[in-house]
Amino acid sequence: MADNKRPTGRDTRTSGKSSGVNLRGDGLGTGPVGSQNGYSGRKGGASGGQRAAIGGGFSTIVIILLIVLFGGHGGQQGTTDTGYNYDEPAYTQPPAITQTVNTGKPDTTVAAGSREKRTKILGGGADTVTLMVYMCGTDLESKYGMATNDLREMASASYGDNVNILVYTGGCNAWKTNGISNSVNQIYRVKSGGLENLVKDDGAKTMTDPATLTSFIKYCANNFPANRYELILWDHGGGSVSGYGYDEKYKSSGSMRLGEIDKALKNAGVTFDFIGFDACLMATAETALMLDNYADYMIASEETEPGIGWYYTNWLSKLGSDTSMPTVDIGRNIIDDFTAACSQQCRGQKTTLSITDLAEFRNTVPDKLSAFSDSISTMISDNNYKSISDARYVTREFAASSKIDQVDLADFAVNVGNAEGKELAAAIKDAVKYERSANISNAYGISVYFPLKRTSYVDAACSEYSEIGMDDSYARAIRQFASLEVSGQAVSGGGSPVASLFGDGSSGVGADVVGSLLSAFLSGSDGSGFLSDRAMTDDEMSDYLTINHFDSSSLFWNEADGEYRLTLSDQQWDMVHDVDMNMFVDVGTGYADLGIDNLFTTDGNDIVADTRKLWFAVDGHIVAYYRTDTQTIDGETVISGYIPAYVNGERAKILVIIDNESPYGRITGAVSDYHDGETDTVAKSAIELKEGDIIAPICDFYDYDKNYNDTYYLGEEFALSADPYLSNEDVGKPVSITYRLTDIYETEYWTPAIVK
C-alpha cells in the first residue's frame, strides 16, 4: 500500500469524568456483539372503507400502497367504515419539508437501441395512476411508528380522482394506527385524508411469500385499472443476496429473494412505470437486471435508509396536479423530498437515492459488465489479485457494519483502473438518470455484491444470479476472487486477540511452508462451492501466495521510555489494509472486550501504540465501540462506527460519525440489531436519539480460559443528555491493548498484548 494510503489514527479528548468499567447483571445470552464467532475458528470458509383521520385528499391516480405488516391478501372487498385514528408513534415527522435547492437536472436522454417503454403516457393530464404500496410494517412500525408516519404523509397529499393509492398491510405485531389489524392482512385505499378499508381480512399470510405480493398486484390491477401502474415495496432491505422484506409475524420465513420477487412479478402479469423500494440497499445491478422485465424505471437506495424513509406528501401532490408527469421527474421529486427530509431530521446519517432507466441499463450495461468481469478473471490469473483486493478495499461500501459486501459498481470499476472498468462506469452513470447522496462519497446510484469482508454469501449469490438469468461471467469472477481470498486466509497464520491476551500473539508463517499449507487446505475441501472455480492452478496459487502474504513473524513491540513501536517493512505495509486498536479490560474474572478503534499514530514505517488506557465514552459512561468505515468526502476524513447497546429496552447499534464538524464524534441515530439469524435484511435507521432515552451499553466477556463467556451490560444504564458528550475516558482497571492488522485477504492478525 502506498505510504499516502496507509491507515491513520484519530484525535481524542478527555473530560476527566469516567464511569470506569464494570459488568452488570447476568449474561444476556445474545451471542457476541463483536466478533460473530466469539473469536473462535477461522473467518471466511469454503462453503458456502373505514377512514383514518390523517388528512389530505385524492384524485384518480391509483396509487397502490402495499403495507406489508402481517401476511398476504386477496380476500373479499369490504365496505367503508369510520373511526380510524393513530396512536402516538415513537416519533413524528413535521407536516412539511423545506426542500433544499438542487441545481442538478435529471438526464432525459436514452441510449440508442434501448427498448421502448412499456408504459405509454397519454399526456395532457389524461393519465390515470394506480400506486401500489406493499408495506410490511414489521418492527419499523411496531417499535417506531414509521409506517404510520408515512401513511399520514400520503393522506396529507392533494390529488384528484385519477390517482388511487392502495396499501397492503401486514407483517407487524402492533400497528400504531388504530383500526389496522395486527392479526390479518388488509387492503386500504388512502382517500379523503384517511384510510378506506377495502379488504378487512385477507388472511394471516406471510408478507415475504411471493404469492402474497402477486395477489395484491392482481387485486389492484383488476379493481383499479390505470394506464400508469407504480409499485413501492416498503420494509427492510438486504440487497443482492438477501433481497426484500422481514415479516415480524413470521420471522422464520426469511426474506423475499430477488428470484422470488421475479416470480411474484411474473405471475402478477402487470408491468409498471416504476418499481421503488422504500427499503435499504436495493439499488443494485442485480435488482435492476431482474426488474427490467416488469418496469421502466427503478427507484432505490444503495445505502441503508434513515428511519424516516421517503417523504410522501410533496411528490404525491405534484403527481396529482399532473398525472402525465414524466417518470424521471417523478423520481427526481421523490429523491429531492427524501434528501431534504433526511438532511433536516437525520443530520449526519448517510443518504442515497437514485432513479435508473431499466431499458437503457439492460441495453448498455450487461455486455460491459461481462467484459469487466472477464478482465477481473484475467487479472487474477495474471497474478494481480492484490490489485483487485486493493480496488475493492477503497471502493464505497454500504452497510459496512453488516458486512454484506455491497459496493458502488461504478466506483469499483474505476478503481480497478482498466479500460473495461472505465467503460462500465460510464454506462452505469448514463443509465442512472438522477441520484443524490449526503454524508457519503463515491455513490453513483447502482451497487453490486462483491465479496471481501466475508465469503459465506458467494455460493448463494451465484445461485441467485442463475435464477434471475444474469450472465455467468460475473459469478465466475467473484468465485475466483473468493477462492484465492480464502486460500490466502488458510495459509496466513492469522491470529486472535484472545490468544494475544495470554502471550500467544499471531502465528507467523514462513514462505517455505505456504505451499504445504495450501495443499493441505485444498485437499481437505470437498471440491464443491466456489473453491472449485479457481483462476490459477494449485502450483500457480502456491507461488502467488508465497510472494504475496503478510509476514507476521515480526509483529512484536519495541519499548523505550514507555513508548511502544511496531516496525513494518515496506513489503508488509503493502499487504495491510487496516490497523485498529483492540482494548480488553481485566475485570477480575476475565476480560471485557471494549471493541475496535483506530487509536494510534504512524511515524515512518512505525506504528506507535496509544497506551493511555482511554476508551470511548458517552456522557462519561465507558461504552464498547466498533469502527466500521473510514472514507474521504471532499478531502475530509469521515469515520463511522457503532456502540452496541439496549436503547429503551431494545437491542440496537448506536451510530457514531467522526468528522471535521465533530472531531471527537457525534451520535447520528440508531438501528435495530438482530441476532440468532432473525433476518439477513437491514432495517432503516431510527431518527436521531433524543434527550432522556435510556442507554444500557453492552459488551462481550472472555474468561481466563480464553473462551467467549457471554455478553453483559457494561456499567449502569443512563439517560442520554440533550447534547451527548463523546470522549475517551480512563477505564480505571488493568488493560491489555492489542492491535489488529487486516491484510489483502481479509485475514486478521493481532500483536502481542501491551499490559498496562
DSSP secondary structure string for all residues of 352-412: EEEEEEHHHHHHHHHHHHHHHHHHHHHHHHTT-HHHHHHHHHHS-EESGGGT--EEEHHHH
Q: Does position 328 have pLDDT exceeding 60, yes or no?
A: yes
Average pLDDT over residues 555-573: 93
* pLDDT at residue 53, rounded to an integer: 34
Higher-confidence residue of 681 and 739: namely 739
| CATH code where residue 159 lies | 3.40.50.11970
Kindly report, residue by residue over 407-440, the tens digit of the pLDDT: 999 999 999 999 999 999 999 999 999 999 988 8
Q: Within this chain, do residues 35 and 131 fall inside the same structural domain, yes or no?
A: no
The number of distinct structural domains making up the chain is: 2
Q: Within this chain, do residues 669 and 561 fall inside the same structural domain, yes or no?
A: yes
Q: Does position 552 have pLDDT exceeding 70, yes or no?
A: yes
Report in angstroms the alpha-carbon separations of 66 from 190, 215, 277, 558: 11, 11, 11, 62
Kindly report, residue by residue over 243-295, the tens digit of the pLDDT: 999 999 998 899 999 999 999 999 999 999 999 999 999 999 999 999 999 99
Q: Which of 349, 378, 407 is the last residue of a domain?
A: 349
Mean pLDDT is lowest, of 329-333, 357-361, 504-508, for: 504-508
Residue 22 lies in a domain: yes
Kindly report, residue by residue over 456-498, the tens digit of the pLDDT: 899 999 999 999 989 899 999 999 999 999 888 888 777 778 8
Answer for the pair 338, 306: CB distance below 8 angstroms, yes or no. Answer: no
Kindly give the residue spans of alpha helices, DSSP state H, lying in 156-257.
210-223, 239-242
Residue 469 lies in a domain: no
* pLDDT at residue 65, rounded to an integer: 43
The 3-state DSSP composition of the chain as helix, strand, coil percent (nearest 5) reads: 30, 30, 45
* pLDDT at residue 641, rounded to an integer: 93
Q: Which of 287, 318, 349 is the last residue of a domain?
A: 349
Kindly report, residue by residue over 236-255, the tens digit of the pLDDT: 999 999 999 999 999 889 99
Kindly report, residue by residue over 207-231, the tens digit of the pLDDT: 999 999 999 999 999 999 999 999 9
Average pLDDT over residues 94-115: 69
Q: Within this chain, do residues 141 and 14 fall inside the same structural domain, yes or no?
A: no
Residue-averaged pLDDT of the chain? 86
Average pLDDT over residues 350-357: 95
Share of residues in the chain with pLDDT > 70 (%): 86
Residue 289 lies in a domain: no
Q: Within this chain, do residues 59 and 34 fall inside the same structural domain, yes or no?
A: no
Residue 472 lies in a domain: no
Residue 15 lies in a domain: yes
Q: Within this chain, do residues 35 and 74 fall inside the same structural domain, yes or no?
A: no
Q: Within this chain, do residues 558 and 619 fall inside the same structural domain, yes or no?
A: yes
Q: Does position 3 have pLDDT exceeding 60, yes or no?
A: no
Q: Within this chain, do residues 146 and 84 fall inside the same structural domain, yes or no?
A: yes
Q: Does position 32 have pLDDT exceeding 80, yes or no?
A: yes
Residue 569 lies in a domain: yes
Q: Within this chain, do residues 29 and 171 fall inside the same structural domain, yes or no?
A: no
Mean pLDDT is lowest, of 15-29, 195-209, 504-518, 624-638, for: 504-518
751 contacts: CB under 8 Å, gap ≥ 6: 500, 505, 506, 555, 556, 557, 566, 738, 739, 741
Q: Within this chain, do residues 30 and 177 fall inside the same structural domain, yes or no?
A: no
What are the φ/ψ torsions at residue 633 (nearest 5 degrees)?
-120, 110
119 band by pLDDT with thresholds 50, 70 and 90: very high
Residue 411 lies in a domain: no
Q: What whole-number distance in Å separates Cα of residue 507 and Cα of residue 556?
A: 12
Q: Within this chain, do residues 588 and 734 fall inside the same structural domain, yes or no?
A: yes
Higher-confidence residue of 540 and 374: namely 374
Q: Which of 289, 320, 349 is the last residue of a domain?
A: 349
What radius of gyration do the chain's Cα atoms show?
26
Share of residues in the chain with pLDDT > 90 (%): 66
Average pLDDT over residues 173-177: 94
Residue 416 lies in a domain: no
What domain range includes position 13?
A: 3-39+554-755
Q: Does position 733 have pLDDT exceeding 80, yes or no?
A: yes
Q: Does position 54 have pLDDT exceeding 60, yes or no?
A: no
Q: Within this chain, do residues 232 and 330 fall inside the same structural domain, yes or no?
A: yes
Q: What whole-number distance in Å separates Cα of residue 220 and Cα of residue 208?
A: 18
Average pLDDT over residues 684-689: 68
Q: Does position 637 have pLDDT exceeding 50, yes or no?
A: yes
Q: Within this chain, do residues 7 and 147 fall inside the same structural domain, yes or no?
A: no
CB neighbourhood size of 485 (10 A): 25
Most distant CA pair in the chain: distance in Å?
Answer: 82
Joined grid coordinates for residue 212: 402474497
